Chain A
Amino acid sequence: MSGVLAVLRKELTVYYATPLFYLMGFFFLLVEGFLFFFIYFSYFQTASFQIAQNPQMASLLDPFQVVFRSFFEDLGFILLLLTPLITMRLLAEEKRAGTAELLFTYPLPDWAVILGKFLAALLVFATLLVFTLCYPLIFAFLTRMDWGQVAAGYMGVLLLGAACLALGLFASSLTANQIIAAMSAFALLLLFWLIGAQQDVGSAWTGALASLSLREHLPNLAKGVIDTKDLLFYLCFAFFFLFLTKRQLESRRWRA
């Protein structure tokens, strides 16, 4: 356990000491801010005006369903672009710089290295996510907020993030080149995002493929419904790719 903490703290120090984290934060918050104020917020305003003309509809204007549902759903897609940038460095850079030779000759089990790096990436992602809390806070001044729904939405995004980061970590373990790590993580994530998107009515395959899709499990959480099926999917997805990463690291011991 102390090994996990050692790796975790080192990775966090590196994240916060390098410009990549701040650049990512800048772009992420810029895009989020733009979407929020120019799309969701202005839509909310228009809707409010219409309802002002027609007071019977006031009960239908739920800020969460109008604004935050699309906020969380769109956030999911932005994660596809963001998470490969967070994870690309983790193992690829160790290989390129030769520090893998240090890291893997320290008395750290492979799983401690993987878990430490994964948790560091998750914390970095969560740090970026914390800044978006200002949007529900702004809304709380304007109207009544259902914080339970907001929490469900954030849980969904965090779990989706964990799944994406685990896949990204695996991609990073395959190469010594950060760009290739990021590109292959993005390609795989896009595949898992789009899989089963085609809605052929009546085909058994569509349902099966769609339930493998990362996108398919977000809408429920984004609208505030917590379904164990969705939680389990993201957790299993993350676990599966962490497991593949472990196998990949182990392979250097037998691939003589």
Chain B
Amino acid sequence: METMIAVQDLTKYYGLTPAISRLAFEVQQGEIVGFLGPNGAGKTTTLKILAGFLPPTSGRARINGHDCVTESLAVRRSLGYLPETAPLYTELTVSQFLRFAARAKGVEAARQQAEMDRVAGACGLLEVRRTLISSLSKGFRQRVGLAQALLNSPPLLILDEPTIGLDPAQIVDIRQLIKDLSGDHTVVLSSHILPEVSQLCQRVIIINKGQIVASDTPENLSRQLGRGARLKLQVRGPAPEIIAALKGLSGVKDAVSQGEERYLVESGNDQDLRPDAARLVVARGWDLLELQAQEFTLEEVFLNLVTEEEA
């Protein structure tokens, strides 16, 4: 696999405030990578630099071997970019706009119509082709923005919050579309919707305050950074005794009652508590109604990382 994006020491100051400082990461060809972070973490700034729209203060970013600043034109030829708010020429109709985008991206005249039909179909825009963009809803505008990024099948897609403003059905469609693109396309997207990132992306880069705090697959992040496993139990019996007994198990960090005979057990290490807990409950003569191992969700990992930073 070849390296699609190589970023080294990337720093960007707005005035005296650093938006990102010394970012370094790589994205391989065909990967779907998600940027995750709270507002103002530097996601959009990073994507803008990659798209060649903003110059970095220092450091360098290379796409497909071309420098984003000095070889901007070559970078932009291999790029489809959806900016954060999906800005569009609202005076034009959808097909007029797509026609312009196709021409600007250098799609040959003979292929333009087919290419426009392809992206309009993929983004569900066929019925609004003759509508003025100014009268489209936010969801449709977002899809038009996505459609223009897909024109000419660029090897790299940079999507800043691609599913924002879409309704749930559309979100499913667009996610499927992005998934289908992986393989021949490299996709870098940013999002603050965690389930989206964990579903879509093969790798997640979490940024906070302009720095990368974690970069791994969603599963690994949940596992490693959650530090330990959790167990959900439903047991019929005297609550105080059950809690005391669960706490007594080796490797258990904490056990709490969640009401209605439900208990949550946290272990301090990666050890699987299920066999021990089951044996314990049965030995004491209580009824074991439910036993489930629970992984930390990406949401919790994320919050952990972001709040740790502040502490």
Contact = CB atoms under 8 A, between A and B. Distances in A.
User: How extensive is the interface on chain B, given as a class?
Assistant: 20 to 34
A108 B89 contact: no
Contacts, number: 83
B91 A18 contact: yes
A253 B101 contact: no
A224 B82 CA distance: 53
B92 to A, nearest CB: 6
A248 interface: no
Interface stretch (A5-13, A60-68, A201-209, A233-241): A5-13
B236 interface: no
Interface in A67-114: 97-99, 101-109
A17 B135 CA distance: 14
Given A98-B83, A253-B55, A253-B72, A106 B89 contact: no
Contacts of A101: 48, 51, 53, 81, 83, 87
Nearest to B100: A10
Nearest to B70: A253
Contacts of A14: 89, 91-92
A38 interface: no
A103 B89 CA distance: 10
Interface string A9-44: 110011001100000000000000000000000000
Given A3-B104, A9-B100, A256-B12, A107 B76 contact: yes
B66 to A, nearest CB: 12
A254 interface: yes
Interface string B50-61: 011111110000
B73 interface: yes
B56 A7 contact: no
Given A98-B83, A99-B87, A101-B53, A107 B92 contact: no
A102 B83 contact: yes
Interface of A: 2-3, 5-7, 9-10, 13-14, 17-18, 97-99, 101-109, 252-256
8 nearest A-B residue pairs (beta carbon): A98-B87, A6-B103, A106-B104, A10-B100, A107-B77, A101-B83, A107-B76, A6-B104
Given A10-B96, A99-B89, A101-B53, 15 more contacts: A2-B103, A3-B106, A6-B103, A6-B104, A9-B100, A14-B92, A17-B91, A17-B92, A97-B89, A101-B83, A102-B101, A105-B81, A105-B83, A252-B55, A253-B72
